[in-house]
Amino acid sequence: MTEPTRVAIVTGGARGIGRGCALELARRGLDVALVDLLAPEMVRTKGEIEALGRRCLTFEADVAEFARAEEIATAVEAAWGRIDVLVNNAGKAQPKGILEIAEEEFDRTIAINLKSCFNYIRACAPRMQKVGAGRIVSMSSLNAISGGVTAAVSRFAYASAKAGILGMTRALAKELGPNILVNAICPGLIQTELAKNHVIVERGAELARNGIALGRVGTVDDVAQIVAFLATSEPCFISGQEFVVDGFQYHR
């Protein structure tokens, strides 16, 4: 009997790291549903996934909305019969400091970067339990560990949300184990739209020379490879962990 095709949901999958993860999962044989605010970019990524011979669904949605997550999980399950993998990747920088930020801006940063993970895990975990197995990988950040850097694109509110992901990851690895594996990635400086206009231009070259052991900033593929490994490798004895993907950035 042939194995059923596995199914992944990737939030923030239209571009950047999420797009890279979606394409790598498609290369490894999974059908992929994308959730993002950017409809045209999602259509482009969908075309790339289909060119790899895999199916793709797109959902224009704000990951901060709890009810949409349930609707999307229901639609994916109705279309393809299962959900095996969730990549909680959608996220947004927040450059304001504690003395400048408004309450709504703090709440929104937490909603996009942290509550989004709750929304999609809450919707997908029961369906993974039905399948009898599941993999969840959430995108935290080096900022969660380092507290960010002065003049960085993302300060305390982002660091708070991304650190929350690490606690959620450990707790849910226990709660959802042994069949559902839950891990987090902490990327350092990765060359994407999010980083392009800020840190890469200002600090990337200098950091690559004097602050990153591997001598360069990261690429989307550097992150996508470990996400895909955690999402697909069999067997896998890894859960509740955070993986720093930063080329060893020692000047944080």
Ligand X SMILES: NC(=O)c1ccc[n+]([C@@H]2O[C@H](COP(=O)([O-])OP(=O)(O)OC[C@H]3O[C@@H](n4cnc5c(N)ncnc54)[C@H](O)[C@@H]3O)[C@@H](O)[C@H]2O)c1
139 vs 182 by CB, closer to ligand X: 139
Residue 37 CA to residue 27 CA, distance in Å, equals: 24
CB of 4: closest distance to ligand X in angstroms? 28
Residue 67 CA to residue 50 CA, distance in Å, equals: 28
**Binding-residue pattern over the window 21 to 60 for ligand X, x denoting contact by CB under 6 A:** ---------------xxx----------------------
Q: Which two tokens stand for residue 71?
A: 């609707």
Q: Which of 204, 225, 202 is nearest to 215 (CA)?
A: 204
Q: Does residue 250 carry a catalytic annotation?
A: no
Q: Give yes or no for residue 195 binding ligand X (CB under 6 A).
A: yes
CB of 58: closest distance to ligand X in angstroms? 12
Q: Give yes or no for residue 64 binding ligand X (CB under 6 A).
A: yes
- How crowded is residue 96: how many other Cβ atoms within 10 Å of its Cβ? 16
Which part of the chain contacts ligand X (CB under 6 A), choosing from 12-20, 73-81, 171-179, 229-237?
A: 12-20
Q: Identify whether the C-beta of residue 163 lies closer than 8 Å to the C-beta of residue 144.
A: yes
Which part of the chain contacts ligand X (CB under 6 A), choosing from 77-85, 89-97, 124-132, 204-212?
A: 89-97
Q: Give yes or no for residue 92 binding ligand X (CB under 6 A).
A: yes
Q: Give yes or no for residue 133 binding ligand X (CB under 6 A).
A: no
One residue of 25, 139, 152, 159 binding ligand X per CB under 6 A: 139
Of residues 128, 158, 200, 203, which has the active-site annotation?
158
Q: Give yes or no for residue 184 binding ligand X (CB under 6 A).
A: no
Strand order through the sheet with 134-139: 56-60, 31-36, 7-11, 85-88, 134-139, 180-187, 242-245
Residues in contact with ligand X, total (CB under 6 A)?
26
Which part of the chain contacts ligand X (CB under 6 A), choosing from 49-57, 95-103, 117-125, 182-190?
A: 182-190
Residue 46 CA to residue 223 CA, distance in Å, equals: 20
CA–chain centroid gap for 21, Å, is 8
Residue 109 CA to residue 93 CA, distance in Å, equals: 8
Q: Identify whether the C-beta of residue 194 lies closer than 8 Å to the C-beta of residue 186.
A: no
Residues near ligand X, by CB under 6 A = 12, 14-18, 36-38, 62-64, 89-92, 112, 139, 141, 187, 189-190, 192-195
Q: Which residues are catalytic?
A: 158
